[in-house]
A and B are shown apart, each in its own frame.
Chain A
Amino acid sequence: MYAQMIKSTGKGVKSLDEMDPEERAFQERINAGGKIEPKDWMPDGYRKTLIRQIGQHAHSEIVGQLPEGNWITRAPTLERKAILLAKVQDEAGHGLYLYCAAETLGVSRDQLTRDLLSGKMKYSSIFNYPTLTWADMGAVGWLVDGAAIMNQVPLQRTSYGPYARAMVRICKEESFHQRQGFDIMMKMANGNEAQRKMAQDALNRFWYPSLMMFGPSDKESVHSAQSMAWKIKMNTNDELRQKFVDQTAPQAAYLGLTIPDEHLEWNEERGSYDFSEPDWEEFFDVLQGNGPCSVDRMEARNKAWDDGRWVREGLLAHAEKKRARKMAAE
């Protein structure tokens, strides 16, 4: 899940009777499974919440290039390098679709970028963790993209048209991301002793941060209730986390790896796995900017943006000159 702790109006969900006719028509359309398009009327809170959510999702794709980019120049074979590079390139593309979707709500990509770089807007906590061995490329694809898919698949049905359509495109690529990660994990888990050790170590480090991707329990959150009523959030955080654990535990067993949770156990009655909660204190620390790589990530993004300024300005100036020359010639 690339959007965490998104605040909506905070006022609680209104009943249809409390709404004025415009808002009521809007909510009824959503209830009937209809889509809201950029030119349609929408409540201010809906627009603002979506900008926060889509923006945070887009930023996550962008910052998410860094932990995997960290291994592209060390990929062990030409094929692995090509696959990883294609995967990271997809993530940049996802960022682009999402910024475009956000722009339909009246906020520019430049503005969103500035808000990311100043620290005003956040990105997913997961990308503040380091990638230390090649097995981490497996773990990230398997677990991180796996968790993202849990959230993104239902979002294909979200009420806001441009967001839903961006999700459809993104989901097509995400399953390849997860597969390439699992494939790396298989090679590592079935490899030599050092590789098996790297695989287990990667799972140990990424397990709880992956569970944190869904955010803390939001059963009682007024923000989440509102977002769910608007259908810009489709499931509770706990539902998605449970689904993720249920899907991932057998995969870990298949790999011969041990999930670092002594309480992980199949619960016959619930038809689901019981599992331990991650350390939510750590999660809030990471959100505050105290993740192991938080400073590095923001430095890297800021440096890229600052170093690229002359390029953006140069290309813009050239486009202006070309336009002026064309005008003069006409």
Chain B
Amino acid sequence: MSEPLFEFLCRMGDNTLVLGHRVSEWCGVAPVLEEDIALANTALDLIGQTTLWLNLAGEVEGKGRDADALAFRRDVWEFRNVLLVEQPNGDFGQTMMRQFLFDLWHKGMLTALQDSSHDQIAAIAEKSLKEVTYHLERTTDTVVGLGDGTDESHDRMQNALDRLYPFVGEMFVSDAIDTAMMAEGIAPDPADLRPAFDARLDEVLSDATLIRPTSDFAHKGGKSGQRHSEHLGHMLSQMQWLQRAYPDATW
């Protein structure tokens, strides 16, 4: 049991770790000051959630690794985040679209995890859900505002959606780890989260005057760790640099 559980916790924690890192790349260069502050808020929430998920993962694993050891000392193939969150920031529209798609999945996932048979998971989900509900409100407003804004902002948001939509499917693919989690009542079947996601996505895209791509083709390989994108390695080379260069230092 502990191995699939460890995998599952890494998936949750790596999603927030990688996305939190991406969002933090915006520090100081957002389109308006209010967005600088809001993006930092989102990143801070995600980093906080990462600490909870990965510390628990380390505990479950029982090899003495904590959240920092997992975040800063694993290589690409050991990461279990979905491909969506490691995609580069692109322009502000792409960052917001990525965040919106993730928030919408994340909210559904956390809502279900509140009823987890695993008490610590339920507690982390409950705490995270408050933050993520707020993230989703904000990104929904932004996607609608920019989609239904000027011609330029509309086109940029449509491009962002087209670019990122092939990464949506992976969030809902079930595999052996998910089956094991379902069997224990620890986590839901990701596939079951899709209908509510689709319904809300259609509503928001309609308000945003954006068109959902017709192809449901989905890239895979992030959450299984089998094939990440090239982007993740570059992120890690920056994120992990100090820990790797000075392995015996404490910070």
Contacts and interface: CB of A to CB of B under 8 A. Distances in A.
A108 interface: no
Nearest to A95: B33
A308 B31 contact: yes
Interface string A154-167: 00000000000000
A308 B242 CA distance: 32
Interface stretch (A46-54, A61-69, A245-253): A61-69
Given A78-B51, A78-B71, A304 B250 contact: no
A96 interface: yes
Contacts of B250: 187, 191
B37 A92 contact: yes
Interface size class of B (residues with CB under 8 A): 35 or more
A318 interface: yes
A88 interface: yes
Contact of A69 (B28, B41, B47): B28
A321 B93 CA distance: 19
B238 A313 contact: no
Given A75-B242, A191-B249, A309-B31, 11 more contacts: A73-B239, A78-B71, A96-B34, A187-B250, A192-B249, A194-B249, A304-B29, A304-B31, A305-B31, A308-B31, A312-B32
B242 A76 contact: yes
B91 interface: yes
Contacts of A93: 37
A308 B40 CA distance: 17
A314 B155 CA distance: 11
B50 interface: yes
A72 B23 CA distance: 11
Contacts, number: 146
Interface string A301-320: 00111011111111111110
B148 interface: yes
A69 B28 CA distance: 7
Interface string B122-158: 0000000000000000000010111011101110100
Interface string A279-318: 0000000000000000000001001110111111111111
Contact of A187 (B37, B43, B146, B251): B251
A177 B126 CA distance: 30
Interface string B57-100: 00000000001100110000000000000000001110000000
B191 to A, nearest CB: 31
Nearest to A305: B31
23 contacts: A72-B25, A72-B27, A73-B238, A74-B239, A74-B241, A77-B243, A78-B68, A80-B251, A89-B37, A92-B33, A93-B37, A184-B251, A300-B29, A307-B91, A308-B30, A308-B31, A308-B32, A308-B92, A310-B156, A311-B153, A313-B152, A314-B152, A315-B149
Interface SS of chain A: helix
Contact of B28 (A81, A300, A312): A300
B161 to A, nearest CB: 15
A321 B201 CA distance: 22
A16 interface: no
A88 to B, nearest CB: 6
A198 B232 CA distance: 29
A195 B51 CA distance: 25
Interface string A74-106: 111111111001101100110110010000000
Contacts of B142: 315
Interface SS of chain B: helix
Interface residues of A, number: 49
B44 A82 contact: yes
B248 interface: yes
B50 A78 contact: yes
A116 to B, nearest CB: 12
Contacts of B25: 72-73
B248 A192 contact: yes
Nearest to A195: B249
A304 B89 CA distance: 14
Interface string A131-161: 0001000000000000000000000000000
B246 A194 contact: yes
A183 B36 CA distance: 25
Interface pairs A-B: 4 shortest CB-CB: A308-B31, A314-B153, A314-B149, A65-B28
A8 B249 CA distance: 50
B57 to A, nearest CB: 13
B166 interface: no
